[in-house]
Amino acid sequence: MNNDVIITCAVTGAGDTTSRSHLVPITPRQVADAAIEAAKAGAAVVHVHVRDPETGAGSRDPALFREAVDMIRDSGVDMIINLTAGMGGDWVPSDGDPSLPGPGTDMIGPEARLAHVVECKPDICSLDCGTMNFAGNYAYINTAPYLRTMAQMVMDLGVKPELEVFDLGQIRLARNLIEDGLVSAPPMFQICLGIPWGAGADTATMAAMQQALPADAIWAGFGISRMQMPMVAQAVLLGGNVRVGLEDSIYLDRGVLASNGMLVERAVEIIERLGARVLGPDEARARIGLAQ
């Protein structure tokens, strides 16, 4: 069991959740306010996507990231900023010719995927460690050479990579990056469960993935939808840290829409009822290996 727990809050994501909850942040101001709310509720780390303010769709516009990050930093509320680097890998095959991109494809190279990270220089950015199918007729593509390029760029920037893994094969790829000196110690992993069609959100799966991590790994885990809070408890019991937030579930209870602050408060309650404590940003920086 982990007695000293870091909470990450993933405040908005890029999925089509804005039509189902008015509490999902859309504009940079709303994203920043959600991050501040989560930090005040007990999250040491905020995981940030941005959205097109007009449509609500996920965006990779560096200017939107810069606007949100600047407002977070200017707030005076201490938190560790973790930016997604998972945009720009969506491939939707064309109905007429599957070798060509269809509507909804957004496929760019590794340097372009990190443009906003270069612009904002956050504490952490995510690296999705492989290619996988998602629900619907599209795949997220992140090849090993792409990841190697991105890992080297992130290291050169002095940004900590959060190695997001969605199945056991992605842990093997991540370990190869570590062995080749592209990820500094201690490596930081996020075990992502329940996403179609990755690893399932259940005890056996989280345990198997945790056991496949390097011995010195700092790790967290989460489950989406109704498994968000059960996986909070499971991660703590297996020795890990936790992630909650509106990226992963828009509900606090059945039929009850949540804010990010509400989800963090529920996670704090679960952690403390298990007899553990929640770490603040400075303690989390020391644990993760970030500069104070």
pTM of the predicted model as reported, rounded to 2 decimal places: 0.96
- Number of domain units in the chain: 1
Q: Which distant-in-sequence residues (6+ apart) come within 8 Å of 221 by Cβ?
A: 190, 191, 192, 193, 206, 209, 210, 231, 234, 235, 238, 240, 241, 242, 243
What is the residue range of 227's domain?
4-288
The pLDDT of residue 292 is: 63
Average pLDDT across the chain, whole number: 97
Distance CA 242, CA 256 (A): 21
Q: Which distant-in-sequence residues (6+ apart) come within 8 Å of 111 by Cβ?
A: 149, 153
CA dihedral 258, 55, 147, 123 (to 10 degrees): -60
Output the domain CATH number for residue 168. 3.20.20.70
What radius of gyration do the chain's Cα atoms show? 18
Q: Say if residues 84 and 49 touch (Cβ distance below 8 Å).
A: yes
Q: Say if residues 210 and 191 touch (Cβ distance below 8 Å).
A: yes
Residue 88, Ramachandran bin (φ over 0: left; ψ between -120 and 50: alpha; else beta) = left
The pLDDT of residue 291 is: 76
Q: With pLDDT > 70 as the criterion, what percentage of the chain qualifies?
A: 100
136 confidence band (pLDDT: 50, 70, 90): confident
pLDDT digits (tens, 9 = 90+) for 213-234: 999 999 999 999 999 999 999 9
pLDDT digits (tens, 9 = 90+) for 266-292: 999 999 999 999 999 999 999 999 976
Between the CA of residue 265 and those of 88, 242, 247, 256, what are the distances in Å?
A: 32, 13, 16, 15
Average pLDDT over residues 107-134: 96
Q: Answer whether residue 188 shows pLDDT above 70.
A: yes
Q: What pairing do the DSSP bridges indicate for beta strands 80-83 and 124-128?
A: parallel
CA dihedral 73, 58, 243, 246 (to 10 degrees): 100
